[in-house]
Structure 1
Amino acid sequence: MTQKKTYFTDLQDQKWSRQETVHHHMDMTKTRLVMLGVVFILAFVVISFRLFDLCILRHSGASSLASESNSRSKVLVRGDIVDRNGEVLVTSLRTYSLYANAKVVLDPQEAAAKLLTVLPELNYKDVLTRLQSDKGFVWIARHLTPTKQAEVLRLGIPGIYFQKDERRVYPHGALAAHVMGFTDIDNRGISGIEKQYNELLISGEEKLQLSLDLRVQHILRDELMAGIAKFKAVGASGIVMNVKTGEILAMVSLPDFDPNQVKKIGANEDVLFNRNTLGIYEMGSSFKIINTAMLLESGLGNLYSQYDVTGPYRLGRFKITDTHPHVGAYKVADIFIHSSNIGSIKMALQVGQERQKNFFKSLGFFQPSPLELPEVGSPMYPKNWSEATLITASYGYGVAVSPLQLITAVAGIINNGMMKKPTLLKVNDATTHESVRVVSSETSDAMKKLLYMQVSIGTGGKAKVAGFEVGGKTGTANTLEGRSYKQKSNRATFLSAFPMSDPQYALIIILEKPQAVEGTYGFNMAGWNAAPVTANVIRRMAAVLKVMPTSRIEFEKLPNASMLIDASYMPQGQ
């Protein structure tokens, strides 16, 4: 019995021992399963948070960075700029700009290599550096076309994103570059009209209409380029102005640039220089228009007044001579048509320093032009208006103004004496546009006759256009290099208007350092180069602007014209 009991007890103990072992293993298994479940849950939470961080938080952060940097997330929609006839000069096109969240890019080297297969103009090292920067926002490329955007998207690169953008487009390239100016990569105006009216244009509310006529602009640029080529000039500039309104129909400065390709300009800043508004020059004999009008307006002389032009005229150690010397007296008309320096000096001396200074001031020669461009230069004149200034200014030296200032003044003199404010905006009502009287109507009439005779029988003969009443004045000034004037290095100017019986349009044409070429007989002065360029412009623009041809004015038909000039005189040279 005892043995059986003991055996039974042993069996029972073994059974409990096995049950305890099973329970122990089960407890361990449950614990392990729970721990494994916790690990999976933690891993899921971590992965989920990481995905949320990458896809939501950091992408949102990139967008925030884009918004904070130059308003990248807000596209500046600029309004169009059109010419006086509604032709588009500047517009904007929808583009896409490419950026990256470098923290999301998995393989920067592979991503950079792929991007260059679509955008080969990018620099691999530069792109790689940006993608390895660990920044939430880095620009990769700006202003991509929809086609390029689609090609980049097909690459399937994580961390690469696009933002809608706009690019400024200049459909006519360099045609009106110095007037239009250009914008920076973020669509803000940097120069020209783009800068002057930046706030108005970014409002995008309406088109900005200019006074320019695209057709006349093309004619002027075309003829100036031909003039540079023919006369081997280093540059040229020109303006066409509506005498009655002050509107600028065309303005060209050469060399110029394509505002669509501003990055290609590099260090060549000369192409950005607007010679018409920033260029401040001594204008040479074209200033004799001002000098003659001053004398007539002063009442101290008239068209029949005579002055001894026997030379030379001595100013200190300097001798002033005429290109075509004459012994004896000239009437005012002779002095103008001969372009006599000595006669101009005698006229100015009669007027005096104070009157001359005040007359120049009334024409706006002592302050920058009020034109709607930021690139406007300040005239240069001596603070001490001495007798030397009086003398040299009478024939175009000692006082420097911009071509724009000179044409504005002359347009006022021949516009019945009313000088209009120059403008690049279309004028709808000329009667309300700002103007100021600078000379009397009598002085204006006399100057129109003199300008017409200068072209008819004077040094401006090569500016004649059959069927049109063209008037004008040559002006050839030696260029100042260092502290001295360089001989045979000229700035040749021809200032003209038509039709002279009732002037509608004024032009100024300037060739920089033209050369004597075949057919000019060794001369490089304005009558041989700037004058024929002027004729070409007038001939072409008259047809475009529908200016009807008129019969030539005969001197006999002008009041007292026969008394103004000796008809037997036919001046030679310039």
Structure 2
Amino acid sequence: MNRLGTHQQATLSRGWVVLLALLAFALALGYGFYVLWHNAPSLPLRPPTRTEAPPVRGSLEAADGTPLALSTPHDTRLYPLGPSAAQLIGFGERSSGKGLSGLELDLEKLLSLGQSLRLTIDPQVQAIAEQALWHGLEVAKADWGTVVVMESKTGRLLAVANGPAFDPTAPRGNLQQDVSWRNHAFAYALEPGSTIKPLTAAVLLEENVARLETKVYAPMSRRIAGWTINDVVKHPETLTLSEVLKYSSNVGITTLAERIPRETLFNYFKKLHFMDEAPMPPLSYQPQIGVRVAAPQVRPLHRWGPAEYANASFGQGFLITPLHLAAAYNTLANDGVYRQPILFEGNTSQSAVVFRPQVAREIRKALTDGAAENAKLPGYVLGGKTGTAQVVVDGRYSSSVYAALFAGFIPSNTPRVTVVVTLFHPKGSRIHGSQVAAPIYRAIAARLFALWGVPPQPQLEPSAKKGKLVQR
């Protein structure tokens, strides 16, 4: 019994030893974890990795908030107005949406960060300009055309229309052959032709070397420095400056332009920003970001010989974009004050005086009195200047490729907008600005007057039978 009791007591003692050892091990392990935890703040801890979703591409809106381009969260780029303003807005890559043309390209840095922008474009004015242009292109069978509508007092671009129509969501063809995607108003510089004559006339009035009543000997042709300058429209040999504009006489304007030094006209071209590669201001809050415009090509003054000067006075021998021409003509609309064209809401248009107000008004009146028949609209005061410019092909002026232009004001006595119409390579028997560009201007004017709610005014004309004034 004594041996059994002793054995049981020894077994019990060993159990307690094991239990105490396990307890000590657990305490030591716990203490170790405590030390590690206590010192853990000094060790860098990595938060769980999260993938940030890229921002949705920024949208482009018209002046009234109408969406012109926007993206879904799944990177689908939408153009709610379809072909309207498509060349101005541009397009991007199918997969990434990265801008490839137009504003989608020029504003890529901002749009890719989710920044949205509002333009000065008025959707109704844009539609009016496009409808008139697209119809006019079909009639003229021209390769392409463009219309710029600029608000006279502010410089805001209300419409930048291009044609033929382009659907930014449709499958794209060869971009080198099909240029319907291009914003011709900004991207193509061409000779402005006779649309420059009113600006040359304004310089003559501003420099006090001529008046609208000033007479000039203007035969149908003249020789200058071995070159022959011809007129197209038959006219009397003696013309007033006002008639020089009406008959679009190259001979008349070059003869009168000899009354001023070459550098005088050249400096006015500078004041009208004909040498400006960036006629529009950049974004007010992002001055490093702007809209691409084709660089003008104007010879430096030291290369203006007698023939080059004569050509420049009637719009030949230099290249500017339709946007440059619209801004220059708007100086006449704005009583002699040049305003920068602006495309983004919030931007400020810088201004500078170029002509006296009376000079601008006199030129507008001359362009109203001598307006082409196809530019007139019964009951309204309209006016402007036609242009038909030869196009250089393979280094020589082509005898078959022309650009037809019309630049004018709506209305021309108290302008609300300045309009420039350009058609490239009209075909058939009707290729002149008075034949194919002026009707587009008239159609735009008619629809704008309807939009503005301006009714036609009664007109007075001599009665054929009684010699009295009658209304019609």
TM-score (normalizing by structure 1):
0.66
Q: Which deviates further from its counterpart, 464-473 or 254-263?
A: 254-263
Q: Distance in 1 between matches of 2:356 and 2:205?
A: 9
Q: Distance in 1 between matches of 2:419 and 2:197?
A: 16
Contact 1:421 1:433 (8 Å CA) reproduced: yes
Contact 1:220 1:252 (8 Å CA) reproduced: yes
Q: Distance in 1 between matches of 2:257 and 2:426?
A: 30
**Which residue in 2 is equivalent to 1:512?**
424
Match of 2:415 among 503, 506, 519: 503
One-letter amino acid of the structure 1 residue matched with residue 185 of structure 2:
N
Q: Relative to structure 1, is the Cα distance of residues 427 and 296 closer, same or farther in structure 2, using a 3 angstrom cutoff?
A: farther
SS state at 2:406 partner: strand
Within-5 A mapping of 1:45-444: 74-95=53-74, 166-184=75-93, 185-204=95-114, 207-255=116-164, 257-261=166-170, 263-264=172-173, 267-268=176-177, 270-326=179-235, 328-371=237-280, 374-383=291-300, 384-426=303-345, 433-444=349-360
One-letter amino acid of the structure 1 residue matched with residue 275 of structure 2:
F
Q: Relative to structure 1, is the Cα distance of residues 552 and 366 closer, same or farther in structure 2, using a 3 angstrom cutoff?
A: farther
Q: Distance in 2 between matches of 1:352 and 1:447?
A: 21
Write out per-residue CA displacement over residues 325-371 of structure 1, whole angstroms, 9 at most, x where no aligned residue. 44532111111111111111012111220101101011001122433
Q: Relative to structure 1, is the Cα distance of residues 266 and 417 closer, same or farther in structure 2, using a 3 angstrom cutoff?
A: closer
Q: Relative to structure 1, is the Cα distance of residues 327 and 171 closer, same or farther in structure 2, using a 3 angstrom cutoff?
A: closer
Match of 1:526 among 428, 433, 436: 433
SS state at 1:270 partner: coil
Contact 1:284 1:476 (8 Å CA) reproduced: yes
One-letter amino acid of the structure 1 residue matched with residue 361 of structure 2:
D
SS state at 2:402 partner: strand
One-letter amino acid of the structure 2 residue matched with residue 549 of structure 1:
P
Q: Relative to structure 1, is the Cα distance of residues 305 and 212 closer, same or farther in structure 2, using a 3 angstrom cutoff?
A: same
Q: Distance in 1 between matches of 2:278 and 2:215?
A: 35
Q: Distance in 2 between matches of 1:409 and 1:171?
A: 33
Within-5 A mapping of 1:463-474: 463-474=375-386
Match of 1:540 among 447, 454, 461: 447
SS state at 1:531 partner: helix
Match of 1:493 among 381, 402, 405: 405
Contact 1:469 1:553 (8 Å CA) reproduced: no
Q: Relative to structure 1, is the Cα distance of residues 552 and 336 closer, same or farther in structure 2, using a 3 angstrom cutoff?
A: farther
Give unpaired runs (5+ residues) of structure 2: 1-47, 283-289, 462-472
Q: Distance in 1 between matches of 2:409 and 2:176?
A: 38
Contact 1:352 1:390 (8 Å CA) reproduced: no
**Which residue in 2 is equivalent to 1:17?**
none
Q: Distance in 2 between matches of 1:419 and 1:378?
A: 19
Q: Relative to structure 1, is the Cα distance of residues 317 and 554 closer, same or farther in structure 2, using a 3 angstrom cutoff?
A: farther
Contact 1:414 1:447 (8 Å CA) reproduced: no
Contact 2:333 2:418 (8 Å CA) reproduced: no
Write out per-residue CA displacement over residues 392-434 of structure 1, whole angstroms, 9 at most, x where no aligned residue. 0111101111111011001012211111110112369xxx632
One-letter amino acid of the structure 1 residue matched with residue 359 of structure 2:
T
Higher relative contact order (CA 8 A, sep 6+): 2
Contact 1:469 1:552 (8 Å CA) reproduced: no
**Which residue in 1 is equivalent to 2:389?**
477
Which structure has the larger Rg? 1
Q: Which deviates further from its counterpart, 187-196 or 482-491?
A: 187-196
Q: Relative to structure 1, is the Cα distance of residues 350 and 476 closer, same or farther in structure 2, using a 3 angstrom cutoff?
A: same
Q: Distance in 2 between matches of 1:310 and 1:198?
A: 55
Q: Relative to structure 1, is the Cα distance of residues 202 and 466 closer, same or farther in structure 2, using a 3 angstrom cutoff?
A: same
SS state at 1:173 partner: coil
One-letter amino acid of the structure 1 residue matched with residue 310 of structure 2:
I
- 1:209 deviation in Å? 1.4
TM-score (normalizing by structure 2):
0.80
* Structure holding more helix per residue: 1
SS state at 2:145 partner: strand
Contact 1:247 1:427 (8 Å CA) reproduced: no
One-letter amino acid of the structure 1 residue matched with residue 298 of structure 2:
Y
RMSD of equivalent CA atoms: 2.5
Contact 2:224 2:306 (8 Å CA) reproduced: no
SS state at 1:411 partner: helix
- 1:173 deviation in Å? 2.1
Contact 2:56 2:72 (8 Å CA) reproduced: no
Contact 2:56 2:73 (8 Å CA) reproduced: no
Contact 1:307 1:347 (8 Å CA) reproduced: yes
Q: Distance in 2 between matches of 1:320 and 1:433?
A: 39
Q: Distance in 1 between matches of 2:73 and 2:98?
A: 16
Count of matched residue positions in the alignment of Structure 1 and Structure 2: 404
Contact 1:476 1:526 (8 Å CA) reproduced: yes
Contact 2:225 2:307 (8 Å CA) reproduced: no
Q: Relative to structure 1, is the Cα distance of residues 263 and 236 closer, same or farther in structure 2, using a 3 angstrom cutoff?
A: closer
Q: Relative to structure 1, is the Cα distance of residues 237 and 355 closer, same or farther in structure 2, using a 3 angstrom cutoff?
A: same
- 1:88 deviation in Å? 1.1
Q: Distance in 2 between matches of 1:295 and 1:263?
A: 49
**Which residue in 1 is equivalent to 2:22?**
none
**Which residue in 2 is equivalent to 1:551?**
457
Q: Relative to structure 1, is the Cα distance of residues 288 and 266 closer, same or farther in structure 2, using a 3 angstrom cutoff?
A: closer
Give unpaired runs (5+ residues) of structure 1: 1-59, 68-72, 96-165, 517-521, 556-574
SS state at 2:73 partner: strand
